[in-house]
Amino acid sequence: MDTTQHPTIQHDVSLKARHTFGLDATADKYIEIQHPSDIHCLLDSGKLQKPFVILGGGSNMLFPYRYHGTVVHIATKGIRVVVEDEDAITVSAAAGELWDDLVRHCVAHGWHGLENMAAIPGTVGAAPVQNVGAYGVEAKDYIERVFATDITTGKSLIFTTEECHFGYRDSIFKNKMADRCIITEVWFRLSKTYEPNLAYKSLMEALKMDGLANPSARQVYDTVTRIRWDKLPRPEDMGSAGSFFKNPIISPSHYNHLKEIHPDLHGHKDGNGYKVSAAWLIEQCGWKGRNMGRCGVYVKQPLVLVNLGGCTFDEVRNLSEAIMQDVEAQFDIPLEREALFSIA
């Protein structure tokens, strides 16, 4: 007799409160993974069939009215020390841990590096997927290993930092391994000595204003949290997916040409090109604070599209496409969405 507890499959489950944009959406099937062994039970049972999508906190995903597939929600918990010496520590966090809980835990224990990424919504397991980043720091700077289960073979996989192929809001998990693996655990290498990273102008200015010339990690954590929520809508107040578009990277000749016409163009050198502020481009096209139906461009930050109440998936798609068309027509720059459309 098979006594294995398989994770339960629920039917017709509302996703409205399970993603931060808050669209009215329902999944045909919904499975919650509470323990790593649930993943193997699920794969062994043969019940996970395409189409499916892995869901963390839903803060970078949007769903249509009906998702005709299976949503697998990762809810595993646990933070532990793997190894430590006098100077540094390797910390492991389960994929379902909230990212900000991990950051707070590390700050409280004097393990440094993640504090500039305070208050990013979502889970640890999603952090390597788009290599989350904020205020001059990216997850890749501290990720040592990513553990995953291959959905097609059930095998355990371990990725070193190099093998993750991290880029700007990008990784192997969005490319070669997209839909291939469930991230189960992430290891972070953190320092026991605090050296503030204050290269990001607005963070440095905010700390200066508070008279914090030599801030502690906790003070940086608190300041980042405050200035983030000054300019971004809190998911509990207004639905959004954070930055809806990536900042585009353009060639030096394109940048120089635009800079001649628009001396106030916001951009900086990035690798072989220039990274340009998508918020600036969108604002120049007159979209800041405008809306189409019940989807709007956030008045304080035009990179963020917001749910003005009862917004539909089509309204988000239409508004994002209109913005992309305008930016391309005016600046010859194709914008790329950072937020993900999960359609099945």
Interaxial angle between packed helices 217-231 and 99-109, expressed in degrees from 0 to 180 and rounded to the nearest 10: 150
- State how far Cα 59 lies from the chain centre: 7
| Among 60, 70, 301, 320, interactor with ligand FAD by CB under 6 A | 60
Catalytic residue from among 243, 315, 320, 342: 243
| Smallest separation (angstroms) from ligand FAD to the CB of 198 | 17
Q: Which is nearer to ligand FAD, 175 or 253 (CB)?
A: 175
Return the structure tokens found at 173. 């998990």
CB 235 within 8 A of CB 23: no
Q: Which is nearer to ligand FAD, 64 or 133 (CB)?
A: 133
Q: Which stretch binds ligand FAD (CB under 6 A): 58-66, 77-85, 157-165, 274-282?
A: 58-66
Active site residue 169: yes
Whole-number Å distance between alpha carbons of 175 and 331: 28
Q: Which is nearer to ligand FAD, 165 or 259 (CB)?
A: 165
| Smallest separation (angstroms) from ligand FAD to the CB of 2 | 26
CB 241 within 8 A of CB 303: no
Q: Which stretch binds ligand FAD (CB under 6 A): 53-61, 152-160, 192-200, 207-215?
A: 53-61
Q: Which stretch binds ligand FAD (CB under 6 A): 104-112, 121-129, 185-193, 204-212?
A: 121-129
Q: Which is nearer to ligand FAD, 244 or 274 (CB)?
A: 244
| Smallest separation (angstroms) from ligand FAD to the CB of 54 | 4
C-alpha distances in Å from residue 57, one per residue of 121, 161, 175, 241, 321: 7, 23, 21, 11, 25
Q: Which is nearer to ligand FAD, 224 or 250 (CB)?
A: 224
**Binding residues for ligand FAD (CB under 6 A):** 20, 53-61, 74, 95, 120-123, 125-127, 129-130, 132-134, 173, 182-183, 232, 235, 240-242, 340
The catalytic residues are: 169, 243, 338
